[in-house]
Structure formats: C-alpha cells, structure tokens
C-alpha cells in the first residue's frame, strides 16, 4: 500500500502524524512530509488506513 497526500487539501494539522508517526512527520516549517509512503506489513497499513479515515481534510488516500 502507498499513501498519497493531496497537498492542495492538507492543512498540516498533524492529525495523521499523531496516528502514524512512523509514516508522517511535520518539517521545521510545519509542512507535512511522508517519511514512509509505502507500507507492506499489516500494522503499518492499518495505521495508514486510520490516518486516511481520520484526516479532517480528506487529503489522504491509499493506492496499491
């Protein structure tokens, strides 16, 4: 699974960082960065799915 960010929608509020800190991070300028865009293990994919569902801006999606 690969997580994709629509940066036109993302407001960098960090919700996804809180859910999956091994996947997402905020840089020094508070911009979202994806540190691990591809996840193959079930635990990482579950956290990615949780982040997608909780993003208040609907800026995340998963692709195979």
Interface with ligand SF4 by CB under 6 A: which residues? Answer: 5, 10-16, 32, 55, 57, 59-60
> Based on CB atoms, which residue is closest to ligand SF4, 48 or 60?
60
Bridge partners of 34, per DSSP, are: 24
Shortest CB 43 distance to ligand SF4, Å: 19
Shortest CB 42 distance to ligand SF4, Å: 21
* Residue that the structure tokens 């919700």 belong to: 15
> Based on CB atoms, which residue is closest to ligand SF4, 6 or 43?
6
Q: In terms of C-beta density within 10 A (0-12 exposed, 13-18 middle, 19 or more buried), how is residue 14 classed?
A: middle
Contact 4, 16 (CB under 8 A): no
């Amino acid at each position: 699974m690969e997580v994709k960010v629509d940066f036109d929608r993302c407001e960098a509020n960090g919700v996804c960082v809180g859910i999956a800190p091994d996947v997402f991070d905020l840089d020094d300028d508070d911009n979202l960065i994806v540190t691990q865009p591809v996840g193959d293990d079930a635990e990482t994919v579950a956290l990615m799915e949780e982040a997608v569902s909780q993003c208040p801006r609907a800026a995340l999606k998963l692709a195979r």
